[in-house]
A = this chain, B = another copy of it.
Amino acid sequence: MAAETFPIGEAARRCGVKVPTIRYYEGIGLLPAPSRTEGNRRLFDAADLRRLAFIRHARELGFEVDAIRTLLSLQDDPDQPCAAADAIARERLADVEQRIAKLMALKDELERMLEQCASGRVAECRVIETLADTTHRHGPFT
């Protein structure tokens, strides 16, 4: 049985990515070069689409292409030395946890503002304070 394949336009629609972006990802090696038709058109399979959707989500979350590349390398080479995979996963995990913490703080603040708004008062906004620097001390400051 021949597996289902999709032209680039439908891949784009399904994954919420623009057509040129897909070609771009292929160009920089994030997405493997898909098979082609007689007429030289790309044909993507389900695995390609899953990978593409993953890339889109990761980019939306603010991961750099290089970070995504290492994340995908966990997937692509499950046989790489455990220590290497561990290091990559550990590093990504720390990053992810920090992001979550900051987003939670921001969420709380936005909710507080919405509550005040609901009660008819104009909120004094403290969004700036919510992301106050607790994690980025890399020098001797006063």
Contacts and interface: CB of A to CB of B under 8 A. Distances in A.
Interface of A: 13-16, 50-51, 53-54, 56-58, 60-62, 71-72, 74-75, 78-79, 82, 85-86, 89-90, 92-93, 96-97, 99-100, 102-104, 106-107, 110-111, 113-114, 117-118, 120-129, 131-133, 136, 138-139, 141
Main secondary structure of the interface of A (DSSP, over half): helix
B51 A103 contact: no
A16 B114 contact: no
A100 B89 contact: no
Contact of A128 (B50, B89, B138): B50
A59 to B, nearest CB: 8
Given A74-B127, A78-B122, A141-B14, A107 B96 contact: yes
Given A100-B103, A123-B85, A53 B133 contact: yes
A61 B103 contact: yes
Contact of A90 (B103, B114, B133): B114
Contacts of A54: 127-128, 131
B61 A99 contact: yes
Contacts of A93: 107, 110-111, 114
Given A16-B138, A60-B62, A60-B99, 18 more contacts: A16-B133, A50-B129, A54-B127, A57-B102, A58-B131, A61-B103, A61-B106, A72-B127, A72-B128, A74-B125, A89-B117, A93-B111, A96-B103, A96-B106, A99-B103, A100-B103, A100-B104, A103-B103
